Copies of this chain bind each other. A is one copy, B any other.
Amino acid sequence: MGLVHLQTFRVRYAETDQMGALSSPRALEWFEFGRTEWLRAADLPYSRMETEGLFLPVVEANCRYLRRVRFDDPIILRTRLSQAGRASLRFDYEAVLDGVPDHPQVLLGWTLHAFVDANGQLMRPPAETRCQLRPLVSPDPAS
């Protein structure tokens, strides 16, 4: 139940730092990429939401870095909507290493979002948006 979106990509060179692994801030760019694709898969493309005056800024973000991710590593990013409140959403993310047995976890994170209008004022999304989102919630990683 719920919608879990899988996105595959490789670690770009510009995403590394001199420690020879993923630069930690870039993980949040991956999460943003993951939820963009989740929203598209949910038939709620974010570019259309913004055109219609609905914005989803990040209110809080969290990321655990479980294992080094290196340049060119193939990644599978699993994105799910874990909570859908009246005027907020929470997305959960799990990045695993592709191309090796057992797909070890490399990142676990979540972001909390508020619905706001173009002026940054909190607002409730239209009823149909909420209707569309509700059945897609996947509260549990295993679900």
Contact = CB atoms under 8 A, between A and B. Distances in A.
Nearest to A45: B72
A71 B59 contact: no
Nearest to A58: B24
Contacts of A20: 18
A63 B61 contact: yes
Contacts of A62: 60-63
* Chain A contact patch, size range: 35 or more
Interface string A22-45: 011111110011001000000001
Interface in A47-74: 47, 50, 55, 57-65, 68, 70-72
A83 interface: no
Given A25-B26, A72-B46, A32 B14 contact: yes
A16 to B, nearest CB: 4
A26 B15 CA distance: 12
B33 A12 contact: yes
